[in-house]
Amino acid sequence: MRLLLVLLFVCGPAFAQPYPSKPVRWIVPTGPGSAVDVNARRITPKLSELLGQPVIVENRPGANSMIGAREASRAPADGYTLYQAVVNNAINDALAPDPCCVLTDKLVPVTRLYTTPLVMVVHPSLPGTMKEYVELAKSKPNALTYASGGTGAITQMVGELLKLTAGIQVREIPYKAIGAELPDLTGGHVSTAFLSPVVIRDMVRAGKLRGVAVAAKERLAILPEVPTMAEAGYPIEGLGWNGIFVPAGTPRSIVDRLQKDIAAVLKDKQIQDDAASLGTTAGGESPEEFAAFVRGEVQKWGKVIKDANIRAQ
């Protein structure tokens, strides 16, 4: 009996199944057809090939991306549940953190997937430069409006950061659904919005909207004529981003394997070309680099929340 126990102890690891040995869940905190969902479904087939197992996308939308985060945080820390966190998760951590699923704590980073700078656009009846826009806003406080996704959305954060930086008063008009502001924006019922480049590119080219500035360090290849916020005199960055996290306690060897394989997928030429065509940058950096970026985002938007006196609703 003692010999049998010794043999089981010594040989047990040899019978352990290598990771991964079963399908992997990929939780998306937005609905089917959303930009985040589309990104997931571009990546997962190629990741499945590298892992040798199916990677199954599951949509868990709601509560400003928190429903998906909560489900992921409750999953076993074994590498079989991946969570595609978005910038709103970091904003949640600054605005009203849920102890169950704080990023870089209860959910640990693997790598960033995509980063998309938002573009400030206005109705064509408004001035076309940031200088003129700010002058108009100062001459008519709260006459101008901006569309947001509501409390805790990245669009609200960028709008409030612009107000703080430029010293202007612009009224927020919240919308519940992504894209719901476009009819009002093109119709002139709301003055301003901060949207992803692919959403507004054709409208800007057709003259239905006017591109004022890109909230990033560099201009976008798909909108080369639109200056950056810094060029316009206001060094503001507002990035929509998403990346993969796993439950805290997941073995580092599994985190490293996932980062390596996801980074390889993101270097694929088709993935790179698709990203460029959307005004997006593919990621793939190390867990440590991604964690530092996320902490910076929480700190940055936390200051905006405090300075703009934004309250959770």
For the chain (length 313 residues), average pLDDT per consecutive 10?
Answer: 46 65 97 90 97 97 93 98 97 95 97 97 93 97 96 95 98 88 95 94 95 96 96 94 98 98 96 92 97 97 96 84
Confidence at residue 2, expressed as pLDDT on a 0 to 100 scale: 52
User: Which residue has tokens 């990621």?
Assistant: 283
The reported pLDDT for the residue numbered 259 is 98
Q: Are 163 and 202 in contact (CB under 8 A)?
A: no
Please give the CATH architecture assigned to the domain spanning 23-116+239-307.
3-Layer(aba) Sandwich (3.40)
DSSP class of residue 96? S
Equal CATH topology for 23-116+239-307 and 119-214: yes
| pTM of structure | 0.90
Given CA atoms 147, 150, 155, 158 in this order, what sign does their dihedral have?
Answer: positive
Reply yes or no on domain 119-214 having CATH 3.40.50.720: no
Q: Which residue has the tokens 């993969």?
A: 244
Q: Specify the amino acid at residue 105.
A: D
pLDDT, position 312: 85
The domain locations on the chain are 23-116+239-307, 119-214
Give the residues across from 135 on adjacent strands.
none
Strands 192-195 and 119-122: antiparallel
List, in sequence order, the alpha helices (H) in the chain: 2-15, 35-51, 66-73, 87-95, 130-139, 154-166, 182-186, 197-205, 252-266, 269-277, 287-307
As to burial, measured by CB atoms within 10 angstroms (0-12 exposed, 13-18 middle, 19+ buried), residue 97 is middle
Tokens of 121: 């656009």
pLDDT at residue 16 in the model: 59
* Residue 298: other Cβ atoms inside 10 A: 20
